[in-house]
Amino acid sequence: AFSTAQVAYSAPWDAAPEAAKQVAQALPFGTSQGGINLQDLANPQLDPSLFVPVCKFSDTFYRGAKNAVLALAGKDVYSEYAPLIAGSLLRVRLEFCVLESFVYESIVPFIKARGLSWVFPLRETLETFVAGVVFAVASNVVLIGSTKIISIAVFYSDFFVGLPIRLTFGFINDRLVKGGAGSNPAGVVLIAGTGAIRLIGQTTEVARKFIEFWDVFVGRYLLLTTFGYVVLKFLKFKGVLTIEKLGALWNALLEAGPPPA
């Protein structure tokens, strides 16, 4: 960890490259974001077109989806509709990449280096206030868009993979159990095998319901939650909401006693 107080500067932007260097030295993995060195990333004159996030999962998803479409539609059809198919898949990949890069290239390394003391510290400083507010606003923008595309992907995965597995192997498993197949070793193996495969389908169903719940929460309540968080940090930063004042308020309430019946 490092302290920005150790950096001598004449203006905030002058300290950014040196502070970024110290962050990079403290990171357990990765010293860049989007292929850009952290020192260069702190440059206010940075050209955003140079930022190319690393998204291994998103790239894998794109290749898998492209190969699946190619196998189903055939090479001729794919070639004819390639601008639409590839263009659509690339934009889906981009949505996944936004969340993936935000988490693994930005949030995780920063928390590894600086911890969570900036989230809601006892003493709010300019650094912790700015970091918290930017993180809250960015989380709104990233999560509201990304959770929707994840919800769609999980829904289709459950519909085309999980649901057939649940119906098919659930039916077979129930018939084996009701037919008394468990009375012999081979039947026990079949029951266990079909039950295990059905469990895969049930897992995708649970995952779909969880993602749908998370998507609803993000869409309805994340903005309100982060707005309240920003307001609290602002009040703490301005000295309106402090430990001393909260303690004085608590003591006043205790001295006042319960309201008369």
The mean predicted confidence, pLDDT, of the chain is 79
**Secondary structure letter of residue 239 according to DSSP:** T
* Structure token digits, residue 11: 């203006």
Count of Cβ atoms closer than 10 Å to residue 102 Cβ:
19
Most confident of 31-35, 48-52, 81-85: 81-85
- 29 pLDDT above the threshold of 70: no
Give whole-number Cα distances, 84 to 60, 88, 95, 252, in Å: 19, 6, 17, 67
Model confidence at 13, in pLDDT bands (50, 70, 90)?
very low
For residue 21, is it within any domain? no
Question: What is the pLDDT, as a whole number, of residue 17?
Answer: 42
Q: Which amino acid is at 174?
A: D
Tell whether 74 is covered by a domain: yes
pTM comes to: 0.65
**pLDDT confidence of residue 261:** 55
**pLDDT tens-digit profile of 34-44?**
666 666 666 77
Domain assignment present for 67: yes
Does residue 45 sit within a domain?
no
Whole-number Å distance between alpha carbons of 211 and 27: 31
Give tens-digit pLDDT for 226-240.
899 999 888 888 887
Q: Is 174 helix (H, G, I), strand (E, B) or coil?
A: helix
Domain total for the chain? Answer: 1
Q: Is the pLDDT of residue 209 over 90?
A: yes
d(CA 232, CA 224): 12
- For 197-201, 216-220, 248-252, which range has the lowest pLDDT when averaged over its residues? 248-252
| CA nearest neighbour of 150 among 94, 215, 63, 90 | 215
Percent of the chain with pLDDT over 70: 79
10 within domain boundaries: no
**pLDDT tens for residues 139-174?**
888 888 788 888 888 999 999 999 999 999 999 999
Q: Is residue 62 part of a domain?
A: yes
If one compares 225 and 7, the residue with the highest pLDDT of the two is: 225
Residue 76 falls within a domain, yes or no? yes
Give the model's confidence band at 26: pLDDT under 50 very low, under 70 low, under 90 confident, else very high. very low
- Is the separation of the CB atoms in 129 and 234 below 8 Å? yes
Domain carrying residue 62? 54-97
Query: Nearest Cα to 234, choosing from 113, 84, 103, 130?
Result: 130
Q: Is the pLDDT of residue 4 over 60?
A: no
Whether 84 is in a domain gets the answer yes
